[in-house]
Each structure stands twice: as C-alpha cells, then as structure tokens.
Amino acid sequence: MSNKHLFLPSGFIRTPLQNGLGRYIPQLQRITLKFCKNHGGSRGVRDFIETDLMEFAKTNPGTVVYLKPRRHRYPCMVAEYLNGEREYLSCHEFSRAEIQKWLSYMCTRSGIPVMRFRKYQHTDYPSIQGVWNPFTHQAPEINVAQFPHEILSKPVNNGPTATDQLIEIFKKTQIKDPVKPEH
Amino acid sequence: MNELSAINVISKRNFKPRWVAPTLREIKRRKDVEDDRNGGPKIFHRSTFLEWLNYNAEIFAFSNRLGEKFNEATLQTALTHKSYVERETARLSDMGVDSYLQIQNNEELAVAGGEMISKFTNGYLRAVFTHVPEELIMAMHEFLTSTSNLETVGKHIGLGDLMLCSDFPCESETYVKSLKAVVAALAESSGEERARIFVQDLVVTQLYGLDINELWNPADPVGNLTDILKREGKAEPEFRLIKHSGQNSVLAVYYVGVYSDKNFIAEGAGESLEIAKEMAAREALKQLFHTEDSMKALPFGRQLKNIQSKIVQLENQPNLPLSKWISEKVTSAVH
C-alpha cells in the first residue's frame, strides 16, 4: 500500500506551538454557521441554534460563534483555526444531533490539515543510551591486538566442534585411576 | 431523508455542462496573470470580510482561550499600534475633524513586556539549567526572545486579527510588539505571577525538542576543560586514542577519550585526531554542565509548580561564566 496513489498527505503527529506542553489552548478561533431561515434543509441548524447553541458557546468561551442567515442558500459551517487554516463543512439536511457532533469535532481539531499518520507517536529523543555503532560492546583489546589473533580472529560464540566433542567423549571413557592389580 | 445520508463520505457525481470547465480554466488563467503582475494574490484583512462583526467578542474569546483575565482597557491599549493612531488622526484631519484622539498606543507596554519576557525566560533557564555557564544561558535566551520565535507565538494565539495597525500584512515587529504589550497588560491585570506562568507556557516551551548544544559551543573546549579541572584541583586532562577505523581512507574515524588522573571522563569521535580531541573535550564539558544528549527532559507547565520560587530568585542572578565555572559553586538540580 504505497503513498503514491493517495491524495491524502501523510505525516507525523504534531501540534502547533507545543500546545498542551505548557497549557492547552483550544485551537478553534471562530466558527460561522450559515443557514436559511425558511428552507427545509436548514431545519437541523435552526433547531440546533434554538436549543444547543448557548450551551456550546458557554462551554467553548475561546471560540467566537457567528450566525449568518442567508436566504435560498444551503446551510454550512466554516471553522477557522489559530494557525490560519479554514475548514468548510456542508450541513445540508443534517439533524440537530449531527450538527452537535460535527461542531464538537471542529472544536477538538488543531488547524493542521487532515492527513494520514505514519506513526501514532513521536519523539525528539529517539535514543537515550546512544545509537549503536560498530564499536559498541567491542572488547577494547581489538585496538592493540596483532592480527591474526588466537582468540579474536576466531568466530565468536562458536561452541565446541564435532571433533572437539568426540575428543571429550574419548577422554571420558579413559580410565583415570588405573586399578593396581592385587597381588 | 434518514440520518445516515449525511454521514456518507463519498461525494456526489456532479455533471456540469461541458463549457463550465474550460470557462473556469480561462478565468483562473487570467487571474493568475493579474496576480503575477501585482506580485502575488491580493490578501485582505479578516476585518474586511462580512463575518467580521464583533471586535469585543473576539477580545473576549482571546482572553478565554488563554485562560487569563485581562483588564479591558489595558488589553485594548496593548493591541493598538502607534501607526494605527497616526493613521486615524491623519484620516480625521483629512476629513476636517481636528480632534486629538485619546487612544493610547502600546509603545510603553511593549517595552515593559519585553523586559518581563526577558526576565522570566532567564529565571526559567537558570533554575532548570543550574550547571550551565552563563554564555549558554544567554544563547538560549537570545533564541527564545528572538523576533522569529515571538512572532510565531504571537501568530498562533490569534493576535493577527486583533491588532490595530496600519500595515497589512503585519510585519514581524508588529506581532512581537503586540505580544510583549499583551504580557505587560496581563501583568497589570492579573499580577506578575500569572504573567510569568504565561511566558513559561507559551514562550519557553518552544525550547522543547531543540538541541541546545547547537545554540552555543565553547570556542576552545580543550582550554576550557583544562582550566576547569585546574580550578577544581583535579589532574590535567589527558587525551588518549581509544578506537580507530579506516585510517587511510575517506571514512576514517577516531575515538579519543579524555582522562583525568587515569579516570575516564568522556569520549568523542571525529574524522581526524584533532577533531576527535575537540569533540571529546566538548563531551566532557557537556557532562559537567549536564547538557549531554541523554540529559533529563525539561520541565514545563505543571511540573514547574515546585520550582517557581527558585525561578523568581534566579531571575536577577546570572549563572557562572565559563571563565569562573567550577563544580562546587554550582547548586544541585532540584527537578
């Protein structure tokens, strides 16, 4: 699944201005709701404005809400974020609950455009003990060793060869203490 | 229509007449030609849009977004620029009304705010980087209070749409001035403590993820290390070759270790012996100053609660300069 055929840009998780490190600043600057006062497609928006809008404005005091009644136009919402990005969403024939849902979605986003996350974590300190290099865990003896070396020239962690094992077995079968013939 | 239709993500096929696309293409081509002639597309201030109805609401949202309480008049002053006041007076006098406008501008607030930002940053740096010489503190302070950094901070808290200034698009200096004035306004409205926390949360956090050793490095690390060890009464630093590889090739690498009285301090790597020696001395200094790559993570936000008093204390107390640096005089880190 390559990235070449996707129009969706990909990237790593980031946040504008290290948001949340010091304090959390809600990134939604203002939201504009455009709707028609008559048309049926704006009914959900109108219901939302009549019932849930005040509560929304109270819970998000950092966002300015603008209402624009526009005749004979379909309803939509435009969200503007602190980093200058804008997000448009058509609310035609949405229900009141859907408007609520999409509005809360806009609130919790930063202005960074929607993208495919390559990884769900990010760190600026990928290595604590230091990145491996060929000298890590090497015995210092290699610096002053004359090659070919008895131990260092041989492969590491080889274990006994078949010949060595046979010699071991043979030695075990030898009688260590010869019994003195009783006379 | 049932509710599920709106959740449908697939967009509808839109059959437009066949002359629409070529017409739009031609209009775009003409617009691009005009934009190129005028040096870029025309940008308008947000206040010229029809949706710009309520400056007071924007100010209210601004203070709530940051979680701070501002004195209305002070905040208004902090966001008004001298150029704006001049432009307005000129406009009024053009119209024939010769009145002296009572609006104050943010020059004094900006100066006071700039001093505060500088002071609070220094306090934080000295409280967190207790072992670091003053030269590095100054380099970090220079970075944090630079125009580019403060401009970024100012832009991302929404100052762009709130400032009253005559130039548009606003220059970096304008953003920086507004931010400084806002800090001063906050100190006036809610007290210096809140302003300090504000600077710590917004300006100082830009230090996160930065390699501070890229901001400053001693010019003569070997000499400096020798001086420091002499001052501490330890033996002279001895540089020994630890490892090497690819000696006569382009990809040569030498590892040099610094020893004091046969005790290993640090090692450094380089393409030649001289470079490796310098890197080893730098590593040794980094270890003394506690700024190695594996140093502790910087505290931000809530983690600063316990050292706030220490930060206040160290705001006016510079760290030891490199020429006088000695381990015993440096206080131990609190965090």
Which positions ≥6 away from B275 have C-beta within 8 Å? B254
Task: Say what the pLDDT of residue B9 is.
Answer: 47
Task: Say what the pLDDT of residue B255 is.
Answer: 94
Report pTM. Answer: 0.83
B205 → closest Cβ in A18, A32, A84: A18
Contacting residues of B for A62, CB less than 8 Å apart: 61-62, 64-66
- Spans of chain A below 50 pLDDT: none
CATH label of the domain that carries residue B239: 3.30.160.20
CATH label of the domain that carries residue B118: 1.10.1520.10
Q: Which domains does chain A have, with CATH numbers?
A: 13-116 (3.40.30.10)
Is position B42 within any domain? no
CB contact under 8 A, A17 and B202: yes
Q: Which two tokens stand for residue A2?
A: 């390559």
Total count of domains within chain B: 2
CB contact under 8 A, B157 and A16: no
Alpha-carbon distance of B105 to A131, in angstroms, equals 54
B27: phi then psi, degrees, rounded to nearest 5: -65, -45
Is position B34 within any domain? no
Contacting residues of B for A97, CB less than 8 Å apart: 3
Residues B224 and B159 in one domain: no
Which among B274, B246, B259, B152 has a CA at the least distance from the CA of B203? Answer: B152
Alpha-carbon distance of B284 to B327, in angstroms, equals 13
Residues B318 and B245 in one domain: yes
Domain boundary among B151, B186, B212: B212
Residues B235 and B107 in one domain: no
A128 → closest Cβ in B152, B294, B301: B294
Task: Say what the pLDDT of residue A21 is.
Answer: 92
B65 → closest Cβ in A62, A66, A125: A62
Cβ under 8 Å to B: A residues 125-154: 125, 127-130, 134-135, 138, 140, 143
Residues B59 and B99 in one domain: yes
pLDDT averages per 10-residue partition of chain B, 335 residues: 40 79 95 91 73 82 94 92 88 77 85 96 94 94 96 93 84 94 95 95 92 92 94 93 90 94 93 95 94 90 91 90 85 49
